[in-house]
């Protein structure tokens, strides 16, 4: 029997969707503007997860242009049917609603490669797909209600998909408008068939503290659906803002090979007040069935801190459970760029070589940025820079929330060597946090996260460590800034308006989790 600590995937891994094929489980998450998009994880026991690839790996699969932070890829669903892995998702262009949104991709191997998208021409978000026993395929999703009874009421609709014609066919049926009067954002729908009945599961009430999971059932895939009188079947909203985990919702069900049932869902660990800098993470909850309805975390009624999985081995997971820990090499799949492939970066052994770009971290473009998710409240992220920069150019570390909100620890040339400057861009306005001068040579930069406090330091050629500044995580999370993202820790380079000049070698990149008393 194995024991797994929640979350099973720490850091910004929201909107989890899961499927089982034989003894293997596959899980996918939203990635918004980050590239590659939609990471695929594999497990044989729901406890030990390994990233095996991404769905979006080619520049010509999707057009990320013009997508600001927290736009992009929302709420994928992964399923397996008839020898193929199927994935449906939404590409959200917040300022360009006329661009296509919902699409479908397939692969013979979940690690990829995945096909080009089949665009389905439907409005709304959070699509899902269901394969019925009679061979029919049903596409479903959520959108703002066409005839709303209240503000932000949404509705879940279903329509048949023809895999030969590769389009939706037949009539569309609205099957749900919310489990409660006045509820907003009934989203993340998934259909299942259990013991001859159809079940519709949704997330409701928005993605913050009031998030929840609701379940409905019907005798036909198109309804009518009756709601469970126990709805919501999973939520933490009644626990208030002082609880350790908030926002439980957006779940997907899976039946294990031994017949047991489980749910993956998102939630957020708060610290430093009502803040969650790590973003929405993936949690695991046991499920049983009683009187024809699923019961989440039976006898407990909330996400447990630890889950016993009977068919998992007892290998200790430690502080790096579901996360990176130690050197982060160029080939690691945890690296992300923004809005497209990292053409500005090349692997140089165990190091990166960055070509500075004109786009900055404040632009909705493709800056020379490579980052990894922050996955622990307490962690050290560091890298050694060997820059060959021209005047006005800079390179360094960044704590990234988005274009308008991030913290840079920047190296720039000076007459005697380098200047290292800490800058907090907050709501689009830059604030100077500190500055030190260094002689020429390699520079090691570090961000030390201890709860809400980030200490920004540098070590120059003389080996002396200097504190450049401090930043507060509670000013960088989505409660403070808006959007849907946790924090990324990364490296970057900017050409200062001198394209084609400068280069930066970045080596000894490390992410080291540090145990803390809060977990």
119: Cβ–Cβ under 8 A, 6 or more apart, which residues? 100, 102, 103
Distances (CA, A) of 161 to 132, 165, 261, 276, 297: 11, 9, 28, 39, 34
Q: Which is the catalytic residue, given 33, 126, 187, 405?
A: 187
Residue 373 phi/psi, 5-degree rounding, is -70, 140
187 included as an active-site residue: yes
d(CA 349, CA 385): 15
The third-level CATH classification (topology) of the domain covering 326-513 is Jelly Rolls (2.60.120)
> E strand or H helix at 481, and its extent?
helix 478-481
Q: Which is the catalytic residue, given 15, 155, 252, 477?
A: 15
d(CA 427, CA 460): 31
Architecture of domain 2-320 in this structure: 5 Propeller (2.115)
Which residues in the chain are classed under CATH 2.115.10.20? 2-320
> CB-based burial of residue 515 (10 Å sphere; 0-12 exposed, 13-18 middle, 19+ buried)?
exposed
pLDDT in 10s for each residue of the chain, 519 residues: 688 899 999 999 999 999 999 999 999 999 999 999 999 999 999 999 999 999 999 999 999 999 999 999 999 999 999 999 999 999 998 777 677 689 999 999 999 999 999 999 888 899 999 999 999 999 999 999 999 999 999 999 999 999 999 999 999 999 999 998 888 888 999 999 999 999 999 999 988 899 999 999 999 999 999 999 999 999 999 999 999 999 999 999 999 999 999 999 999 999 999 999 999 999 999 999 999 999 999 999 999 999 999 998 776 665 556 678 899 999 999 999 999 999 999 999 999 999 999 999 999 999 999 999 999 999 999 999 999 999 999 999 999 999 999 999 999 999 889 999 999 999 999 999 999 999 989 999 999 999 999 999 999 988 999 999 999 999 999 999 999 999 999 999 999 999 999 999 999 999 999 987 654
Q: Are 225 and 207 in contact (CB under 8 A)?
A: no
24: Cβ–Cβ under 8 A, 6 or more apart, which residues? 42, 43, 44
15 included as an active-site residue: yes
Distances (CA, A) of 203 to 41, 74, 200: 22, 14, 10
């Amino acid at each position: 029997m194995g024991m797994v600590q929640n979350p099973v995937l720490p850091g910004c891994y929201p909107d989890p969707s899961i499927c089982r094929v034989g003894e293997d489980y596959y899980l996918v998450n939203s990635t918004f503007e980050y590239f590659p998009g939609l990471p695929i994880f594999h497990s044989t026991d729901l406890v030990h997860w390994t990233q095996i690839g991404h769905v979006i790996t080619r520049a010509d699969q999707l057009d990320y242009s013009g997508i600001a932070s927290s736009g992009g890829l929302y709420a994928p669903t992964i399923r397996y049917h008839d020898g193929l892995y199927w994935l449906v998702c939404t590409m959200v262009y917040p300022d360009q609603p006329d661009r296509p949104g919902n699409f479908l991709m397939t692969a013979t191997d979940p690690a990829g490669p995945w096909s080009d998208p089949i665009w389905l021409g439907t409005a709304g978000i959070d699509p899902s797909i269901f394969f019925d026993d009679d061979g029919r395929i049903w596409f479903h999703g959520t959108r703002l209600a066409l005839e709303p009874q209240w503000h932000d009421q949404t509705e879940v609709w279903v329509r048949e998909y023809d895999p030969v014609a590769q389009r939706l066919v037949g009539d569309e049926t609205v099957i749900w408008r919310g489990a409660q009067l006045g509820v907003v954002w009934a989203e993340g729908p998934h259909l299942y068939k259990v013991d001859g009945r159809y079940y519709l599961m949704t997330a409701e009430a928005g993605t913050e503290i009031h998030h929840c999971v609701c379940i409905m059932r019907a005798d036909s895939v198109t309804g009518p659906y009756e709601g469970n009188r126990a709805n919501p079947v999973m939520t933490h909203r009644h626990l208030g803002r002082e609880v350790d985990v908030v926002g439980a919702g957006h779940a997907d069900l899976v039946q294990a090979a031994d017949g047991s049932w489980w749910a993956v869902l998102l939630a957020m660990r708060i610290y430093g007040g009502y803040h969650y800098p790590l973003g929405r993470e993936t949690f695991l909850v046991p499920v049983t069935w009683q009187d024809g309805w699923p019961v989440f975390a039976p006898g407990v009624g909330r996400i447990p801190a630890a889950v016993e999985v009977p068919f998992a081995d007892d290998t200790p997971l430690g502080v790096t459970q579901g996360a990176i820990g130690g050197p982060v090499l160029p080939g690691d799949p945890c690296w992300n760029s923004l809005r497209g492939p990292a053409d500005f970066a090349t692997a140089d052994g165990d190091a990166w070589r960055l070509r500075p770009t004109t786009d900055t971290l404040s632009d909705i473009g493709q800056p020379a940025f490579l980052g990894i998710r922050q996955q622990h409240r307490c962690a050290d992220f560091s890298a050694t820079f060997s820059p060959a920069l021209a005047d006005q150019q800079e390179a360094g570390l960044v704590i990234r929330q988005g274009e308008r909100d991030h913290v840079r620890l920047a190296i720039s040339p000076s007459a005697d060597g380098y200047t290292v400057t800490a800058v907090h861009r907050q709501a689009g306005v830059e604030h100077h946090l500190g500055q030190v001068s260094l002689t020429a040579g390699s520079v090691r930069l570090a961000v030390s996260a201890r709860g809400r406090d980030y200490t920004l330091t540098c070590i120059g050629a003389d080996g002396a460590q200097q504190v450049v500044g401090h930043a507060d995580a509670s000013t960088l999370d989505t409660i403070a800034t808006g959007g849907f993202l946790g924090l990324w820790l990364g490296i970057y380079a900017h050409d200062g308006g001198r394209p084609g000049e400068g280069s930066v070698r970045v080596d000894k990149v490390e992410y080291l989790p540090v145990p803390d008393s809060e977990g």
